[in-house]
Amino acid sequence: MKKTRNLESYVQWFNRLSYFVATEVCKHAKKKQRVRVVEYWIETARECFNIGNFNSLMAIIAGLNMSPISRLKKTWSKIQSAKFSILEHQMDPSSNFSSYRSTLKAAMWRSAGATDERQRIVVPFFSLLVKDLYFLNEGCSNKLPNGHINFEKFWQLAKQVTEFIAWKQVACPFEKNPRVIAFLQASPVLTENTLALASFECEPPDNNPEKERYKALKSEMNAQ
């Protein structure tokens, strides 16, 4: 049960961070403030990439790519999107996350030879790690067609688990800020529907599907 709760905590934190990012953008009525918030999160994502925190990087990208945020055309028009595009490319899911896997391998090499504690950090994209382990375990037989033990399967499983354990054992060199931690953990986040409604209030719907969606959301909110 404890191991299951740990897995759930990883997923819950990823989802919370994504929705927190989106909430922080949509809670500002003025475009200028939204632009600053989006730029702040892009810079935060870049720093996550630089230190090897790929899980938070993906969560931030997911938050900025949520429909209520990505549709804010007037906001995005004021942002230099090149930096964000580079980050999106690094975490592009196409070809089974090939770009991310190459970047992760480079981060592992850096970590293995680093003398600076800050260069040793590797926080993988956790959901993909779990998916890889699941498919490796379930998709590969324990025995080969000739009846021999499939040592390659168990070697790959052991390799990935050993790497993850090694990453967990690296001491975090950054000083904890209790106020920031409390803010991230306790600040309210909007739901999918309230995010959509807030987005439409930031920038009105500009096509028929959006107008219908906005109308339905307002009716739903008024009925509560």
Q: Which long-range contacts (CB under 8 A, 24 or more apart) does 40-45 make?
A: 42/79, 42/83, 42/84, 42/87, 43/83, 45/84, 45/87
In angstroms, the CA 44 to CA 39 distance is: 9
DSSP state of 115: S
In angstroms, the CA 166 to CA 44 distance is: 25
**pLDDT, tens digit, for every residue of 104-151?**
999 999 998 888 888 899 999 999 999 999 998 888 899 888 989 999
**pLDDT mean over 89-109:** 94
| Confidence category of residue 12, pLDDT binned at 50, 70, 90 | confident
pLDDT greater than 70 at residue 5: no
Indicate left, alpha or beta for 147 from its phi (over 0: left) and psi (-120 to 50: alpha).
left
**pLDDT, tens digit, for every residue of 172-195?**
888 889 999 999 999 999 999 999
Q: How many CB atoms lie within 10 A of CB 65?
A: 15
Average pLDDT, the chain: 92
DSSP readout, 130-169?
HHHHHHHHHHS-SB-TTS-B-HHHHHHHHHHHHHHHHHHT
In angstroms, the CA 213 to CA 224 distance is: 17
pLDDT at 1: 46
Domain boundaries, the chain: 5-122+170-223
pLDDT at 114: 85
Q: Taking each helix axis from N to C terminus, what angle separates 2-26 and 54-64, rounded to the nearest 10 degrees? A: 40
Between 58 and 113, name the one with better pLDDT: 58
Superfamily for domain range 5-122+170-223:
Ras guanine-nucleotide exchange factors catalytic domain (1.10.840.10)
Contacts of 55 (CB under 8 A, 6+ apart): 10, 14, 123, 124, 125, 126
pLDDT greater than 90 at residue 35: yes
CA distances from 132 to 40, 157, 161, 187, 220 (A): 32, 9, 11, 32, 40
pLDDT greater than 70 at residue 98: yes
**pLDDT mean over 41-56:** 96
Whole-model pTM?
0.90
